[in-house]
Structure 1
Amino acid sequence: MNQYIYADKFFLKSAVHGPGYLEIKDGKFGAILEKAPANADVVDYSGKWVAPGLVDTHIHGYMNHDVMDNDAQGINAMSEGLLSCGVTSFLPTTLTSSKARLRDVAETIGQVKDDVNGAKIQGIYFEGPF
C-alpha cells in the first residue's frame, strides 16, 4: 500500500509545488498529487515544507566529535546529529596526518559506514597535503 505525505510546499529541481501529497511507492518518492486517493495512509505535515536532504561534502567534526579522533561511536554520533539538521549524506573529512593515522581513520569509517543511524556516509574527503 502506498503512503502519502501532505505538505504545504515541495521543493523540486525545477519548481516549488504545493500544497499537495507526495506519493511514497515501494519506499521511493513518486508523483505529487493535488488529492490523495480515498482511504489513503497520509502523514500530515500541514504548515511544513518538504525539501531534498542536504549533502555535507566537507565536515571535520560535529556533536563534540572529530573525524580524526578515530572513534566509531563518534562517527555515529556525527551521523545522527547531522540527520537531525536535514543532512542526509556526508563525507567525513580528515586533517593532514601521517599515512598510518589516515589509514586507521579510513578503516574505522569503512567499518561503520553501513551501520550509522543517521546521515549516510558516502565516502571520505582526504584533506591534503598527504
Structure 2
Amino acid sequence: MKKIIINGTDLTVEQVYPYRYDFGKGKEVLRVEILESNHNFDDVKVLANIYNQAIEYWEDEEKKNEYIGYCKDFSCNYQDGKYSIEISRISESDLKIAELERKLAENTEVINAMLLSDLEGGVANV
C-alpha cells in the first residue's frame, strides 16, 4: 500500500512524484493521485493547507522519501474516480521575497513611528 503522511494525516495514494515543467527548466510541482474510493475531497484538501511541511511517502510501511518545500498553488482535478493533485514547490526566490516583505513591513513601522514622533515634536520610542 502506498501512502503519504502530512502532519499526522495518512492518505492512501496511487502515485506521488515530483515533476518539472518546460523540460526540467520550469515550475516544480509534486503530483499526487488519490482514488475517490479511498478519500473524499475534504480529506484531499489537507494538501492545500500545508506550508513548507514535510510530506512523507511510504510503501508497505517503509518510508521511501520525504518531500519538503511544496505548499503553494494547490490544484486538483477530478476524473473517473481519481483526484489528480499538483502542489508547487517554493523556490529560493519565493523565500527571499517573503523575507524582504517581512523586513519591509518592520521598517515601514519604524519609519511611520519616527514620522509621527517628528510631527508631534517628540522622540520616537522605537
**Range into which the TM-score falls when normalised by the shorter chain:** under 0.3
TM, length-normalised to structure 2: 0.27
In our comparison, the structure showing a higher alpha carbon Rg is: 2
